[in-house]
Amino acid sequence: FPEMLSNPKLVLVQGALNVVLKQNVTLSCLSESGSPPVRYTLFRHNQQVSALNRSDLTPALFTLTISSASDAGEYKCKAECNTSTGGKYSNSLSFTLLEPISKPVLSSPTSQAKKGQNVTLSCLSENGSLPITYLFFKGTQNISPQKTMQKREAAVIFLFIDSFSDFGTYKCKANNSFPNTTKYSNGFNFTLAEERSHSQPLILSLGLILLLLITGLALAIPLFVVPLYKASE
């Protein structure tokens, strides 16, 4: 009696599930029981990619080149033989396309600060496959634990400006699973905010009073001096 066809197993035999563009991968599809010949069909997003016939119970090997983002995603295979109807489907395997990150941008809501002030720094790479890991530096010394972002959003740290040494150059770096693509940001410097002297309001007030006195004096001369001059004639 013909043996019942089992659900095939789809296995990655060459490459990785995290792939870069132009990478080759090989998938194996095999039903461990059934009556040959068996036809194996590979699908990507429910669309047929390739088909192979096997006259015995040996795996069908599908070699693919990931040439664009559309080649990533979910794959399945289907096994069919003459004694089965409808065929049997395998488990799924999903490829994730790795993209290099872009140069991160380091920014802050304020570029000026003074001693005793709390400030924030944000680091963001707008392109690149997630997750992305960020690390902040002042000079060559890191100033925060690594921050791994699962979404396309900035990593943020909070700083306290405690001394003039905190006004140095800050940078951040970003990396993801794409090989050898660590990128560093631009440098960012806080400038010292000018603190208004306590004597400035007093000086302004005295200057305003003096101006009012001069103006009042100028107005009073025609009212008092001119009539006195006429009376003396």
Instruction: Tell which residue, 26, 14, 22, 18, has the closest CA to residue 67.
Output: 22
What pLDDT score was predicted for residue 198?
47
pLDDT for 48-92, tens place per residue? 999 999 999 999 999 999 998 899 999 999 999 876 667 999 999
What pLDDT score was predicted for residue 229?
52
Domains of the chain (ranges; CATH) run 9-97 (2.60.40.10), 105-192 (2.60.40.10)
Handedness of CA 220, 225, 231, 233 (dihedral sign): negative
What pLDDT score was predicted for residue 199?
45
Tokens of 163: 């001394």
Question: Which residues lie below 8 Å from residue 200, measured CB to CB, with a gap of 6+?
Answer: none
**DSSP assignment string, 66-93:** E-SGGG-EEEEEEEEETT-SS-EE---E
* Helix, strand, coil tally for the chain in percent (to 5): 15, 40, 40
186 vs 105: CA distance, rounded Å = 6
Tokens of 36: 């040959």
Report strand pairing: 188-189 vs 147-149.
unpaired
Q: What is the pLDDT along the chain (233 residues), one digit of tens a residue?
A: 567 899 999 999 999 999 998 999 999 999 999 889 999 999 999 899 999 999 999 999 999 999 988 999 999 999 998 766 679 999 999 999 999 999 999 999 998 988 889 999 999 999 999 999 999 999 999 999 999 999 999 999 999 998 888 888 999 999 998 988 899 999 999 988 875 544 455 555 676 777 777 776 667 666 655 555 555 55
